[in-house]
Chain A
Amino acid sequence: MKDKQTKQNTAQKTSELSSAVLGRIEEVTPDAKWKFACANYFVWIAWALSVVFGAVSVAVLIYVADHSRFALFEATHDTPLSFFAEVLPFIWIGTFVAMGASAYFNMQHTKCGYRYPMWQLLISSVVFSVVGGAILHIFGTGYLIDTQLAKRMPLYTSLERTEQRMWQKPAEGRLLGVFSAMDEKDEMYVFIDNNNTQWQIQTVELRDRDRHLLSSGDTVRVLGTTTNRENNLFHACGVFPWMYDRGVSVRDMKKDRQQFVERMYEHMEKGDRLRNLEREVFEKNTDMPFADGLCAEISVMKRMKF
């Protein structure tokens, strides 16, 4: 009896609900298929854009890693860490992370995205960005974006600007610029730096190869020390090509480093020899180093700790 009553109530309720629902859907039309399709495409497009921007940031990161002059880091920084802290494009690292998160978020909101664990979604998006970034880098996109952004946005610091800023520091013994003329009278090289300042470069401690490179007319980096700030006199200890627009292979890096270390080592040995000679001749130490041994005193020598 009780069961029968319950069933009747249920049937009544069921018909009430279906009547109410049917009554309400009289005024309702199902949303069109295209709306759902658009929502789905939107998520995929947002995912694709995140991957593309991620790839662009990877391309710039590869370009920066490829073009950073790590081989000479002691010339500009105390430690490799401080070198990378200055060179690393944090804005692109941030972009890459943000795009990775965005790609994950969008992928998760695709129809079946929720079925996969977070790490799978993240890795798949990141792999697309990294592969895409590597391909873009092959076509020079990283270089193009970095240089074009620097041209159009004054606040953007490109790798070129970073490197220029690092090497255009006369007070710290670094100059970036081009050879202008020979000062025959004083046997000095006239040099115009990146700020259009004219310098007279003393080359007594340079190898022939360095002198040749300096006078080639190409943009070069000169490592040394400023001997007279008022007359813009600079004592050169090494000359290195400015290869900013060229990628560096591991072999190039090794070669760069080898030459840099060899040169610094020569200066150090020469400095020791001169100091010994000084002791033998004068039987005491003098504060004034020989002009010919200035390179043994530059800060790079202390950093390299031979």
Chain B
Amino acid sequence: MQKDPQLMSDEEIVSMALRDKAFFAHIVFRYEDKLSRYIMRLGIRNAEDRQDTLQDIFIKIYKNLNGFDTSLSFSSWVYRIAHNEAISAYRKKNVRPEGHLIDEGDERVAREMTQEEGVEKQFDEQINAEEIANALEKVDEKYKNVLILRFFEHKEYEEISDILKIPIGSVGTLIHRGKKQVKERIDTKQLHV
């Protein structure tokens, strides 16, 4: 008797999808929303463009199913492909993306970002997600990528390392420096006000 696909692990669905293409729809169901949010945060804001990019991402995932490295989690592998495709998509359009980082109800992200290494002392309750989002738009791309994965996608350091293909040690460093830069941007903004 076949197991209910909803109870199957990603890896099990992958092996089923290699035999029966229809099973790939379960991968699409599982990752569509997550990836849609992720690529929006990376800068693909237009809904149509996002749908096109998502299609390309899933086609690429399907095409490369045999190359799935089992030493990674499937999710990290999928995010890696999504990341690369999103970057290619906005490079094709030749414009620097302006991500839409904060969804409604994402204010907790602002707090998470400020709850480490004494940075929180610099902020008060007035700091909101919108401010963080605006500041994040201005930080360097390398910091922005890790900050999005860490604080918006809630990925662990090892997962971020696998998605962005950088050493785990560098993930910590980039997060630390990125947060500093966010703080500087917020401070500057406040000074200008």
Contacts and interface: CB of A to CB of B under 8 A. Distances in A.
- Tell me if chain B binds chain A: yes
Given A20-B55, A22-B24, A32 B66 contact: yes
A11 B18 CA distance: 25
B97 to A, nearest CB: 21
A24 B59 contact: yes
For chain A, the bracket of interface size reads: 20 to 34
A26 interface: yes
Interface of A: 10, 13-14, 16-18, 20-22, 24-26, 28, 30-33, 35-36, 111-112, 114-117
B21 A26 contact: yes
Contacts of A35: 66-67
A36 B66 contact: yes
A28 B51 CA distance: 19
Contacts of B165: 114
B20 to A, nearest CB: 11
B38 interface: no
A114 B169 CA distance: 11
Interface string B1-36: 000000000000000001001101100110011000
Contacts of B119: none
Contact of A31 (B58, B66, B166): B66
9 A-B pairs with least C-beta separation? A36-B67, A114-B165, A18-B28, A18-B25, A33-B66, A21-B58, A30-B65, A117-B167, A25-B62
Nearest to A22: B25
A13 B51 CA distance: 9
Given A14-B29, A18-B25, A117-B170, A25 B59 contact: yes
Nearest to B69: A111
Nearest to A39: B67
Contact of B161 (A17, A20, A33, A115): A115
Contacts of B69: 111
B55 A115 contact: no
Nearest to B18: A30
A28 B63 contact: yes
28 contacts: A14-B33, A17-B28, A17-B51, A17-B55, A17-B58, A18-B25, A18-B32, A21-B28, A21-B55, A21-B58, A25-B21, A25-B24, A25-B59, A28-B63, A30-B18, A30-B62, A31-B63, A31-B66, A31-B67, A35-B66, A35-B67, A111-B69, A114-B161, A114-B166, A114-B167, A115-B167, A117-B169, A117-B170
A28 B169 contact: no
A31 B64 CA distance: 6
Contacts of A16: 51
Nearest to A14: B32
**Which of A10, A14, A32 counts the most B-chain CB atoms under 10 A from its CB?**
A14
B40 interface: no
B148 interface: no
B190 interface: no
Contacts of B89: none
B146 interface: no
Interface string B75-111: 0000000000000000000000000000000000000
Given A25-B21, A26-B21, 16 more contacts: A14-B32, A17-B58, A21-B24, A21-B25, A21-B28, A21-B55, A21-B59, A21-B62, A22-B28, A24-B59, A25-B62, A30-B65, A35-B67, A114-B161, A115-B161, A115-B162
Contacts of B126: none
B163 to A, nearest CB: 10
Contacts of B161: 114-115
